[in-house]
A and B are shown apart, each in its own frame.
Chain A
């Protein structure tokens, strides 16, 4: 098992290399030129050319790639063309917000999505099942920004219980930290809650008809024990898979939520950098995020083995 984990960790290196090359290539075929943006309104063609030279943008593509990769290998993600701050500093300033937002959103998604999915499967065809499915379809259908504004209107503006926007670091107090995170995390979680509920229900339905479940009920075990210990455990592989995918999607989905709630996270950092064509920042963030995706996939694969010892790599 350990050898497999190590092998997979090593395998992430070429994956990251391909990601890095793809990101670099995509950026260079995208219209826009940071040198022109930096040069401003008064710049002459010579000014722009001088800035391009200083940024190394006049070098051939392969030279630019080689220089960038050389730095990345040394742990240097470069410097923002605009603010002059190291990309690692910018990511460091933003990572905590996105990590906490994603974790809370996933906690809510799993904490609500799995139980209601289990109950819906257990009470298949009942009003409870239908209610869960209505919620799941609605959850998929609601645009995140719309839901965000509705929650802000109800809980922040009308009731005044929670703040409208912003992020408060944990160091500033648990109460403030949580109050700033509840609405964005709830907004972000609804679609994944719906996804997990549907997947849990479908997966549980496939297990609940099995003989061993009937036997468990026949032995007189409590329904909760049968559902959780016997059914859910055996139905968990697809659920874990969808949670893993959900984590990856949450990082991307955080862009909209971060904008609606003015949270200084990685999503907004990426969007702002794309708008300005701040190449080092875009490349740095995408590299870090793709690294996170690869790690999440690895964790999911390890969990498969833990949940189902029959699985061997």
Chain B
């Protein structure tokens, strides 16, 4: 397939956006009622710092609030913070909390709570750890003011605090935030717009949230996780329905109001139903990965890894994994194509497939014919499709392939094994990340070259680590952009991983639901039900 130019790509993306990202109708602003929602997964873990699970992040957006939020245009804006200032040398940030913030137990939110919450988050999150490594002190000044003093220069402080995806720096009372980051919190008390009804929580079935009557929203229009979180619903009930056909029938029958992520093959039927509609809430999308294991032959050899880039045909992967062209797009780069660091620098190999070159690189790598173990996750459709395409392309490039079928949970255990493939390890796996998690180098696991400390596959590329440190220390955007391009060039040359495109997942709801906001997670403020 002929590669798209950037101009063509943007035009296409714009047209798709115009067609499918049409904003929901003007909210009726009717207050009250219960919204029944089918969540993407079962909520099992309630601690948003302890796990990176998206379902826990989504739950936490109801229950907890954040110092800063990210709006639809990916701009970081104050949320719990009323005013903030930065010292002239850029080393001291002062935050003043808004008036009227209260925890769900009725206690006022104080600066000490926020300082403790930040400290716990900074022990666990990748961006948080980077910030912690540059921070000298986070401390309350008085009941409403806290400061963050840097020990070394760190550019994206506010981006870190307004980070939209896992782990999000959600605020908790100090006594709860004092829990070790390796332990789950026992008490769910937030200051967010909804209160978690623990007595009604039934793992595997339902989660119930009720309106936090004392919540004081900002006096602004809502936008993403920023702006005024005006609550129009009395109650939100999350249901877990593992069977898509059941969820589809329940939506059509009016037994549920909103289905977070219907499988793409259900979408045409939903769109034909007069009472239902669909919407693309996440304008950034999701990125697919092919990850080689850098520890073992043949992919401990750079040329063998480069063959993976040469064989790549994103369209082929997306067709097999997603299937409906209006919900996917090629994205030849490691950073999200709709994000601020999208670039084609060093990505020529991803634009045009070159199997001849792939075969040549395999020969030059000295590949000895040993089987390449490809993890084949069979219970997640798009990952299964991607693995089958990889098998075809690897075979065409001259590798002998051993496709190892397993379920997702087994895959999680297998991918953590550093053993050689013939002793239970692996050579290639497939996974996906929301584009918000691959937007820039400080959150992107695929560009980490920290060896044993890197994400599974463990690439050891010291240049990448240095450039990531340079990136977070840079304070001006053009410099950061230039560093991100360098990071991309090295990540693709060393083949830390191979991206196989981006896709978008629509959400479906009944037409009496109004005010759904564009964001990477489902948000329940501003939503009303007629």
Q: Which residues does A use to contact B, with CB under 8 Å?
A: 31-33, 36-45, 47-48, 50-51, 54, 80, 82-85, 90, 93-94, 149, 152-153, 156-157, 160, 163-166, 259-262, 264, 268-269, 272, 275-277
Contact = CB atoms under 8 A, between A and B. Distances in A.
B469 interface: no
B445 A31 contact: no
A235 to B, nearest CB: 40
A262 B42 CA distance: 12
Contact of A31 (B242, B252, B414): B414
Nearest to B418: A45
The 9 closest A-B CB pairs, nearest first, are A264-B205, A82-B44, A33-B413, A262-B241, A83-B203, A164-B249, A31-B410, A40-B52, A164-B250
21 contacts: A33-B412, A33-B413, A41-B52, A41-B455, A47-B182, A50-B182, A51-B182, A80-B203, A90-B203, A90-B204, A94-B204, A156-B249, A157-B249, A164-B250, A165-B241, A165-B246, A166-B250, A259-B242, A262-B250, A268-B242, A275-B409
B409 A277 contact: yes
Nearest to A162: B253
B477 to A, nearest CB: 27
B423 interface: no
Given A165-B246, A165-B255, 15 more contacts: A31-B413, A37-B413, A40-B53, A45-B416, A51-B182, A54-B182, A80-B44, A85-B203, A149-B245, A163-B255, A165-B249, A166-B250, A166-B255, A259-B246, A262-B240
Contacts of B205: 93, 262, 264, 268
Given A157-B252, A268-B204, A41 B445 contact: yes
A32 B379 CA distance: 15
Contacts of A54: 182
B413 A272 contact: no
Nearest to B43: A83
A272 B204 contact: yes
Contacts of A33: 412-413, 416
A84 B184 contact: yes
A276 B187 CA distance: 23
B418 A262 contact: no
Q: Determine which residue in A32, A262, A277 has the highest number of CB atoms from chain B within 10 A of its CB, and name it.
A: A262
Contacts of A36: 412-413, 416
Contact of B452 (A32, A45, A51, A90): A45
Nearest to B379: A275
A3 B445 CA distance: 67
Nearest to A47: B182
Contacts of A84: 46, 184, 186
A32 B410 contact: yes
Given A41-B52, A48-B416, A262 B204 contact: no
Contacts of B410: 31-32
A294 B388 CA distance: 45
Given A36-B412, A40-B51, A48-B416, A93 B202 contact: yes
Nearest to B184: A84
A166 B253 CA distance: 13
B241 A83 contact: no
Nearest to A31: B410
B406 interface: yes
Nearest to B455: A41
A231 to B, nearest CB: 43
A160 B253 contact: yes
B187 to A, nearest CB: 11
A42 B204 CA distance: 25
Contacts, number: 122
B33 to A, nearest CB: 18
A264 to B, nearest CB: 3
Nearest to A30: B410
Contacts of B300: none
B203 A32 contact: no
Interface in B435-493: 445, 452-453, 455
Contact of B409 (A37, A83, A93, A149): A37
Interface string B360-377: 000000000000000000
Contacts of B245: 149, 260
B243 A259 contact: yes
A31 B406 contact: yes
Nearest to A41: B52
A234 B202 CA distance: 47
B239 interface: yes
B45 interface: yes
A51 B184 CA distance: 12
B206 interface: yes
B99 interface: no
Contact of A264 (B124, B204, B408, B452): B204
A241 to B, nearest CB: 33
Contact of A164 (B126, B203, B255): B255
A48 B46 CA distance: 19
Contacts of A39: 416
A43 B416 CA distance: 9
Most A CB contacts (10 A, CB to CB) among B204, B243, B255, B455 go to B204
B497 to A, nearest CB: 13
B253 A163 contact: yes
Contacts of B418: 45
B271 interface: no
B52 A42 contact: yes
B414 A156 contact: no
A262 B416 contact: no
Contacts of A51: 182
Contact of A272 (B42, B186, B253, B414): B42
Contacts of A31: 406, 410, 413-414
Nearest to A160: B253
B142 interface: no
B407 interface: yes
Interface in B210-255: 239-243, 245-247, 249-250, 252-253, 255
A166 B36 CA distance: 12
Nearest to B255: A164
Interface in B100-125: 124-125
The residue among B124, B186, B243 with the most chain A CB atoms within 10 A of its own CB is B243
Contacts of A43: 416
A250 to B, nearest CB: 20
B190 to A, nearest CB: 17
Contacts of B253: 156-157, 160, 163-164
Given A31-B413, A163-B253, A83 B206 contact: no
A38 B53 CA distance: 9
B246 A42 contact: no
A90 B42 CA distance: 14
B232 to A, nearest CB: 25
The winner among A90, A165, A268 for most chain B CB atoms within 10 A is A165
